[in-house]
């Protein structure tokens, strides 16, 4: 089976020996891919939290510039990447596709394993793929300042890098516990010129209300979102930015999969299995949507697998229902796989995979059986990460260690079956700011948590009941 | 003036618009370049510390495998890179050459600035360029275990990555102060499978002797070297590895400059000024030696500038004399620019530039006027690093911030002179494990130290007096 549509197919024999499959800057994609018009049925609309009626573009206007709102609801299959965004992408893109020869050998598998590496970005993950266009469209719209939240700091640092490129001010509210425990992402955010606040802060009504009751609050992503949104809404020159979950964020990430398609065409190979990790879902979408386009078009037929943490199993254990995107229940209601908007997952090290819900678009596609999902405990994930580091060199972030654990499972299945399967995975970031998690692993302080059934049931009891 | 010798020259017009100039894996150099036979006069030999007679290969045999000793004294201009080493290099090499368009714009300079980025290696610096062949030649010689020392941890992590690739055990002695204050390089070292000890340790006679007198000793690179050497000497299956200073280390690093020559040929440009930072000198040598070959051959004529910290100014303020390579005076005597073997520099953040001496080969070349040197204080270096991060994206390590400060000085001179100069610099690593230094900068706790004249005079008074 070979790739054809939208990809110039040529096979260079020498290329099959490569470790890294690179593209020239001239091969950087010129458009993002919007999967929505290609789906069998459209995803359900977001609803106004008060009226339970579908929301329109105007409801989002206080938060986002119109160009991003248009992308959020677009029915176009392709959206051109502005030249200014492509120029910044070129600081690290096209990103390399690696053939994991050393990992294959260590596993003794007949599978050919490829990984698309996004840790080459200045911020060290896939997040700048959307941070850069978000900063660009805001700058184009005359916005002066952006607010956002961050947990461990991946998103905040990506956004501060992007804002430096377009001369925008940025204020980041970071969850207090991370602000204290992981100070170096904050140092990076300051290096790129942004301001960082510990959340809850005394700068917002939302923050002050919480501090009044809990002066030592460790904060939460939900609280940080409330603070960033409040600051954006009350100032006309200020907008808000979100790093995952929304359609336009997923759209921007498709540059990953578009590049990977071209890279596979170069080596004349086609993935049989694609494995990504899912938190909010943006990296998974970025890698897989272009391949799912080809699958829907009938030219290839890979199995696609989303791997999530056993401690936060929104796809495999959550219900597909309308729920709030934030803890406090201030956002629109979106139909998604949810564990309940006030579900607090156990403190696993993959901070980026601790969201209570799943992107509505990905949730809808899961209902349409476009991909599979599995949940894996963090000990198996760190075992995979260490094996990967010792063979392939790169030390992975805790989030993609889930994708690596899923990949190793598939590679060992291929060995059992004696089949030459081709596996593609996404290494969405390096672990340079996550070494404390590795320390925990080596000192045997890392453990799996029980399946949080009772906690999920409790949180789900507070999810609003919506008709339709 | 155009490049020709040993470089296929072709100019692709489109290439002049590139942000990154990449090479294919097929363009990875096949040989390292040994500059010694091309020098007007040979460098003075190392001397035995007892007899003051030139040492021979046998004196080094307890420490290094014979293949590396042969490289240390080789008179061959080119030494083939073994295929096994090239295969591991391909995990990150050829490394990108960037055109710093955004920095140029911010400076308003007519200069074209290029930087060769070595932070793409798994360990995040240029160090794996020599760690990989050192591990390879040891494995070939049947060595089972390697010992080494590390300060802040760059070299220890590079060596642990390399040993994982060739199935060698590695034990790293890390200076106690860094072991405690910068734990995450140690986490990385463990992730790649090596063992790390705080130095002084109770595992060696050298360590126990120091602990007996100073139980809370913060350690020093000199002590750590003594411990690693002691362990290597007393076990036949164990050898020792050094990350800079020696000829074979500089040799391995020339892969950087060989690639850069090819990359310049691709864009049809030629550097007028080349700026690198110097600690032990290996990154500076790696970038500049192939260009100095072309300069000695008369085809190009760049100015070459070594930038060192004002707090540890071995080239600009040191004397060119025979001295010990370590603090305790256990190594052979080598003729080099030295501040005195027991000189302890002020605690600047560029840990990799705090060595008391300079590579003997580079010292000899400095005496032959093959390049210039200047010393810059760390505040100017961090200003340069922050300006670089906000324009080019990458957050630099404190060591190459010295090269960046020198580059910015040259770019501003070009502006003053109204001249279109081409500047090449080496960004030898990222700063992901050095963010505490940026915190110090932003909290105004970073300051320059006075020129350490009295300390240097004191240390120099204990340098042995050798005839010849």
**What are the structural domains, with CATH classification, of chain B?**
13-49+56-60+75-123+248-442 (3.40.50.1100), 128-242 (3.40.50.1100)
Reading the block at residue B67, the tokens are 């293949």
Cβ–Cβ gap B395/A87 under 8 Å: no
Reading the block at residue A468, the tokens are 């339709």
Could you tell me the pLDDT band of residue B326, with boundaries at 50, 70 and 90?
Answer: confident
CA distance A314 to A335: 13
- Is A183 within 8 Å of chain B by CB? yes
Please tell me the predicted confidence (pLDDT) of residue B231.
95
Pairing of β B303-309 and β B273-277: parallel
Query: Who among B22, B165, B435 is closest to A184 (CB)?
Result: B435
Residue the block writes with tokens 């992901």 = B432
- Is A124 within 8 Å of chain B by CB? yes
Please tell me the predicted confidence (pLDDT) of residue A352.
85
What's the N-to-C CA distance of chain B in angstroms?
41
Please tell me the predicted confidence (pLDDT) of residue A351.
84
CA distance A269 to A282: 25
3-state SS, one letter per residue, for A424-438 = EEEECEECCCCHHHH
Could you tell me the pLDDT band of residue A169, with boundaries at 50, 70 and 90?
Answer: very high
Cβ–Cβ gap A390/B124 under 8 Å: no
Q: How many CB atoms lie within 10 A of CB A381?
A: 33
Query: Who among A192, A391, A435 is closest to B389 (CB)?
Result: A192
Residue the block writes with tokens 């050919």 = A112
- Residues B27, B30, B33, B37, CA torsion sign: negative
Residues of A in contact with B86 (CB under 8 A): none
3-state SS, one letter per residue, for A160-199 = HHHHHHCCCEEEEEEEHHHHHHCHHHHHHHHHCCCEEEEE
- Is B12 within 8 Å of chain A by CB? no
Cβ–Cβ gap B192/A389 under 8 Å: yes
Per-residue pLDDT tens digits for A224-250: 988 999 999 999 999 999 999 999 999
CA distance B171 to B163: 10
Cβ–Cβ gap A25/B25 under 8 Å: no
CA angle B408/B111/B310 to nearest 5° reads: 20
Reading the block at residue A86, the tokens are 């492509």
Cβ–Cβ gap B188/A120 under 8 Å: no
- Is A392 within 8 Å of chain B by CB? yes
The Cα of A394 is separated from the nearest Cα of chain B by a number of Å equal to: 5
- Is B188 within 8 Å of chain A by CB? yes
- Is B14 within 8 Å of chain A by CB? yes
CA distance B304 to B293: 12
Please tell me the predicted confidence (pLDDT) of residue A344.
85
CB pairs under 8 A between A and B: 110
Cβ–Cβ gap A435/B19 under 8 Å: no
Cβ–Cβ gap B192/A390 under 8 Å: yes
Could you tell me the pLDDT band of residue A79, with boundaries at 50, 70 and 90?
Answer: very high
The Cα of A185 is separated from the nearest Cα of chain B by a number of Å equal to: 8
Residue the block writes with tokens 């501003």 = B412
Which secondary structure element, helix H or strand E, spans residue A307, and what is its range? Answer: strand A303-309
Quick check: B302 and B425 in contact, CB under 8 A?
no
Reading the block at residue B256, the tokens are 């950087």
Please tell me the predicted confidence (pLDDT) of residue B16.
64
Cβ–Cβ gap B432/A87 under 8 Å: no
What's the N-to-C CA distance of chain A in angstroms?
41
CA distance B104 to B411: 8
The Cα of B389 is separated from the nearest Cα of chain A by a number of Å equal to: 6
Cβ–Cβ gap A432/B124 under 8 Å: yes
Pairing of β B169-175 and β B195-199: parallel
Residues of A in contact with B14 (CB under 8 A): 26
Query: Residue B24's closest chain A neighbor by CA?
Result: A22
Reading the block at residue B6, the tokens are 């040993």
Q: Is the pLDDT at B11 greater than 60, yes or no? A: no
Burial of A130 per CB tally in 10 Å (0-12, 13-18, 19+)? buried
Cβ–Cβ gap A191/B393 under 8 Å: no
3-class DSSP state of A452: coil
- Average model confidence (pLDDT) across chain A: 93
Query: Who among B87, B184, B435 is closest to A188 (CB)?
Result: B435
Cβ–Cβ gap A393/B91 under 8 Å: yes
| Span of A404-408, B179-183, B244-248, B434-438 with lowest mean pLDDT | B179-183
Cβ–Cβ gap A393/B92 under 8 Å: yes
Quick check: A42 and A36 in contact, CB under 8 A?
yes
Query: Residue A439's closest chain B neighbor by CA?
Result: B187
Cβ–Cβ gap B122/A393 under 8 Å: yes
For testing the chain A interface, which of B188, B191, B390, B404 should be mutated: the one with the most A CBs within 10 Å? B191
- Residues B264, B270, B273, B279, CA torsion sign: positive
Range A259-274 average pLDDT: 96
Range A279-291 average pLDDT: 97
- Is B89 within 8 Å of chain A by CB? no
- Is B19 within 8 Å of chain A by CB? yes
| Span of A65-69, A83-87, A126-130, A212-216 with lowest mean pLDDT | A212-216
Range A322-347 average pLDDT: 90
- R_g over Cα of chain A: 21
3-class DSSP state of A131: helix
Pick B218 or B427 by higher pLDDT: B427
CA angle A357/A359/A363 to nearest 5° reads: 90
For testing the chain A interface, which of B83, B118, B135, B395 should be mutated: the one with the most A CBs within 10 Å? B395
Quick check: A123 and A161 in contact, CB under 8 A?
yes
Could you tell me the pLDDT band of residue B95, with boundaries at 50, 70 and 90?
Answer: very high
The Cα of B19 is separated from the nearest Cα of chain A by a number of Å equal to: 6
The Cα of B254 is separated from the nearest Cα of chain A by a number of Å equal to: 22
Which of B186, B164, B433, B152 is closest to A439 using CA atoms?
A: B186
Query: Residue A93's closest chain B neighbor by CA?
Result: B20
CA distance A316 to A304: 15
3-class DSSP state of A88: helix
Cβ–Cβ gap A19/B25 under 8 Å: yes
Measure CA A138 to chain center.
21
CA distance B457 to B467: 20
The Cα of B272 is separated from the nearest Cα of chain A by a number of Å equal to: 24
Burial of B34 per CB tally in 10 Å (0-12, 13-18, 19+)? buried
CA distance A229 to A358: 20
Residues of A in contact with B161 (CB under 8 A): 393
- Is A108 within 8 Å of chain B by CB? no
Range B333-339 average pLDDT: 97
Pick A151 or B20 by higher pLDDT: B20
Quick check: A165 and A198 in contact, CB under 8 A?
no
Range A378-389 average pLDDT: 97
Cβ–Cβ gap A395/B120 under 8 Å: no
Cβ–Cβ gap B192/A435 under 8 Å: no
Please tell me the predicted confidence (pLDDT) of residue A132.
98
Please tell me the predicted confidence (pLDDT) of residue B10.
41
- Is A45 within 8 Å of chain B by CB? no
Which of B177, B184, B226 is closest to B206 using CA atoms?
A: B226
| Span of B104-118, B157-171, B317-331 with lowest mean pLDDT | B317-331
- Is B440 within 8 Å of chain A by CB? no
Residue the block writes with tokens 């502005």 = A82
3-class DSSP state of A70: helix
Please tell me the predicted confidence (pLDDT) of residue B2.
38
Per-residue pLDDT tens digits for B369-403: 999 999 999 999 999 999 999 999 999 999 999 99
Please tell me the predicted confidence (pLDDT) of residue B467.
64
- Residues B1, B7, B10, B14, CA torsion sign: negative
Burial of A227 per CB tally in 10 Å (0-12, 13-18, 19+)? buried
Q: Is the pLDDT at B219 greater than 90, yes or no? A: no
Please tell me the predicted confidence (pLDDT) of residue B13.
40
- Is B137 within 8 Å of chain A by CB? no
Please tell me the predicted confidence (pLDDT) of residue B346.
86
Per-residue pLDDT tens digits for B98-153: 999 999 999 999 999 999 999 999 999 999 999 999 999 999 999 999 999 998 89
Range A410-428 average pLDDT: 97
Which of B69, B68, B71 is closest to B35 using CA atoms?
A: B71
CA distance A100 to A408: 11
CA angle B75/B77/B80 to nearest 5° reads: 105
**ipTM reported for the complex, 2 dp:** 0.94
Pairing of β A169-175 and β A195-199: parallel
Q: Is the pLDDT at B1 greater than 60, yes or no? A: no
Q: Which residues, 6 or more positions from B242, have their beta carbon under 8 angstroms from its beta carbon?
A: B148, B249
Query: Residue A191's closest chain B neighbor by CA?
Result: B386
Q: Is the pLDDT at A3 greater than 60, yes or no? A: no
Alpha carbons within 13 A on the beta-carbon side of B384: 24
Please tell me the predicted confidence (pLDDT) of residue B27.
97
- Residues B377, B383, B387, B389, CA torsion sign: positive
Cβ–Cβ gap B435/A187 under 8 Å: yes
């Amino acid at each position: 089976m070979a790739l054809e549509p939208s990809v110039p197919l040529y096979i260079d024999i020498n290329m099959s020996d490569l470790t890294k499959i690179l593209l020239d800057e001239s091969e950087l994609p010129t458009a993002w891919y919007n999967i929505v018009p290609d789906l069998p049925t459209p995803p359900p609309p977001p609803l106004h939290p008060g009226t339970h009626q579908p929301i329109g573009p105007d409801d989002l206007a206080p938060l986002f510039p119109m160009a991003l709102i248009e992308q959020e609801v677009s029915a176009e299959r392709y959206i051109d990447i502005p030249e200014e965004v492509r120029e910044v992408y070129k600081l690290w893109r096209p990103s390399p596709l690696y053939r994991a020869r050393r990992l294959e050998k260590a596993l003794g598998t007949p599978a050919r394993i490829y990984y698309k590496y996004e840790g080459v970005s200045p911020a060290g993950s896939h997040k700048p793929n959307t941070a850069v266009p978000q900063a660009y469209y805001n700058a184009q719209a005359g916005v002066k300042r952006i607010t956002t939240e961050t947990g461990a700091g991946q998103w905040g640092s990506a956004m501060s890098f992007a804002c430096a490129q377009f001369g925008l001010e940025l204020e980041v509210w970071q969850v207090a516990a991370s602000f204290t425990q992981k100070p170096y992402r904050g140092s990076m955010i300051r290096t790129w010129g942004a301001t960082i606040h510990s959340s809850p802060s005394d700068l917002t009504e939302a923050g002050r209300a919480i501090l009044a009751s809990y002066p030592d609050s460790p904060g939460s992503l939900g609280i940080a979102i409330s603070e960033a949104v409040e600051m954006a809404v009350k100032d006309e020159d200020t907008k808000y930015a979100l790093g995952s979950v929304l359609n336009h964020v997923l759209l921007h990430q498709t540059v990953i999969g578009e590049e990977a398609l071209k890279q596979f065409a170069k080596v004349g190979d086609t993935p049989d299995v694609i494995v990504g990790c899912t938190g909010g879902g943006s990296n998974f979408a970025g890698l897989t949507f272009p391949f799912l386009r080809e699958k829907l078009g009938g030219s290839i037929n890979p199995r696609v697998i989303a791997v999530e943490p056993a401690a936060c199993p929104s796809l495999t254990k959550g219900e597909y229902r309308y729920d709030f995107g934030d803890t406090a229940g201030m956002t629109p209601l979106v139909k998604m796989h949810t564990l309940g908007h006030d579900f607090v997952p156990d403190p696993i090290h993959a901070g980026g995979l601790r969201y209570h819900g799943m992107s509505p678009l990905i949730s809808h596609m899961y209902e349409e059986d476009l991909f599979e999902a599995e949940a894996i405990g963090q000990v198996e994930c760190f075992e995979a990460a260490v094996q990967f580091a010792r063979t392939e060199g790169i030390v992975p972030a805790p989030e993609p260690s889930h994708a690596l654990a899923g990949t190793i499972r598939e590679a060992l299945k291929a060995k059992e079956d004696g089949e030459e399967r081709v596996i593609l995975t996404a290494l969405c970031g390096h672990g340079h700011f996550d070494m404390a998690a590795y320390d925990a692993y080596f000192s045997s302080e890392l453990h799996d948590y029980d399946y949080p059934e009772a906690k999920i049931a409790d949180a789900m009891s507070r999810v609003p009941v919506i008709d339709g």
